[in-house]
Amino acid sequence: MLRFAILTVSDRSARGEREDLSGPALAEAIRARGWEVAHTAILPDNLPALRDTLARWADSDAYDVILTTGGTGFAPRDVTPEATLAVVERQAPGLAEAMRAASLQITPHAMLSRAAAGIRGHTLIVNLPGSPKAAVENLEVIAPVLPHAVKLLRGDQSAEKEHRKI
């Protein structure tokens, strides 16, 4: 059972001016796969707050995967990738590359994504777009590899056998 935390990054949603649709859409997609949504939160586009929250959540070992939604574009306050890169110990660029490649089949705006992904301790952190539709589409791109990634991060010996299947 994979344990997820979802962090919605939005000034307006954090202030209660706009309903968070992306976080619940991701939670629904995660639960549909039989995985657990252990925690959700909404924060404004604030680098120190995002950085500290991501580090605290990852260091708690309560979650296998932390998904962020929002703050990955070109707007001046979009700082989610910077917060993520400030806390990860190792980057996982293939995940962000795969999401961008798949999204480019849908919209040329995918080229504007600055999403990042990486590992802190035993936790994978992945940035997703802020749009509910795009967030779920991007999750679907990486979902097939997440169970294996988490096994590897946990040091599960059965993960090595899975490499031989490919």
- Predicted local confidence at residue 40, as pLDDT: 98
- Predicted local confidence at residue 165, as pLDDT: 62
CATH number at residue 66: 3.40.980.10
Domain housing 68: 3-165
How many separate domains does the chain show?
Answer: 1
Per-residue pLDDT of the chain (166 residues; tens, 9 = 90+): 999 999 999 999 999 999 999 999 999 999 999 999 999 999 999 999 999 999 999 999 999 999 999 999 999 999 999 999 999 999 999 999 999 999 999 999 999 999 999 999 999 999 999 999 999 999 999 999 999 999 999 999 888 777 666 5
Contacts of 160 (CB under 8 A, 6+ apart): none
C-alpha span between 66 and 84 (Å, rounded): 10
- Prediction pTM value: 0.96
The CA-atom distances, in angstroms, between 57 and each of 62, 87, 104, 120, 122 are 7, 11, 31, 10, 11
Q: What is the DSSP letter of 123?
A: E
State how beta strands 90-91 and 117-120 pair.
Answer: antiparallel
